[in-house]
Structure 1
Amino acid sequence: MLEKEDFENIGYVQRTHGIQGELACKTTVDLSFISEDEDRYFLMLEEQGLLIPYAVEGFRTKTDEIDLIRFSGIETKEQAETLVGSSLWLSRDYLDDQELSEDPYDFARYLGFNLIDANRGVVVGTISHIDETTMNTLLYVDTASGDELILPIAEELFTAYNDDERTLTLDIPEGLLDN
């Protein structure tokens, strides 16, 4: 069985690219080693809390932070759209020589983290998606009650983060958590 502890969250599927199932993925590690032997690698996508393996069929780097990835079995834009927003995970075995992002303002690193409100000292929920396509970066947070919160994020709101405990503490402005 796949255990989450054996994998590292390395980013997320940001959007589709083209009409043939290619995905633009925001990543926190250099995945260029995949292009040397694409058929050998699997990336995990988190779906409903479970890690699902996807065989890499094609890989190319677009920018320092965006990789274009094709997965086996994903042939159309419509199929690819179902994966947008999914967290990307890679086996820790592949990361031996890779540097994980240490930049606290590289928001993709917080996917799957628990969000804590610094003012109340309580867990708000789990960060399920990060949207950096808008003027203000947005966090999508799944709460324990099953609701989804959308919160703007900015460097000024950061108070603490803990990679080991997978928590991000923000000074959330008053009123944003009110129903």
Structure 2
Amino acid sequence: MNEKMGFSLLELTFVIVVLSILAMFAIPEYTKTHREAKIAVLNDLRGKLTNAVDTLKTASNIESRKQTIDDQSYVQYDAGQYYQVAGKLLHPSEICHILGLTIAQLAKGVAVTSIDGMYTCKYENLNTSWIKMNKLESTDCALSYAASYSNSIITAVDINLVGDCLEQ
């Protein structure tokens, strides 16, 4: 009645080696796919922001949607919500507000976490704002909103992913 129970040290070592080899291939692939998915989310936000900027530009042509408060121009984009513009284009302080990530426009130089905690938004200066996805493996990947001015009126905006999110 001398029966062996359990695994030998050799069998356990073999299983650990096989699992290690599988992990060596699976973990980097998972990380890459996870990162690419998050970058796709930022690309989706880029499309939504581009659409919002274009819609707001059109709304700027309707006099009943314009409003001036403290020498700042605002345009109604959706039901009862006004966004600051400089000319007919969205002011950089409004990028997260118009996407519904924050409840108000951004203060200059202050990083703000979105309502759901997934994003960080910052209005850097008169020309630049950005949105970063929290917990993205690459901390240098962001959605950038860069404005070009002429006499305090925005003449063009550039909405792009910047940083190392484009590297493979």
The structure carrying a bigger strand percent of its residues is: 1
TM range (shorter): under 0.3
For the pair shown, which has the larger CA radius of gyration, 1 or 2?
2
The structure carrying a bigger helix percent of its residues is: 2
Provide TM-score, normalisation by structure 2: 0.25
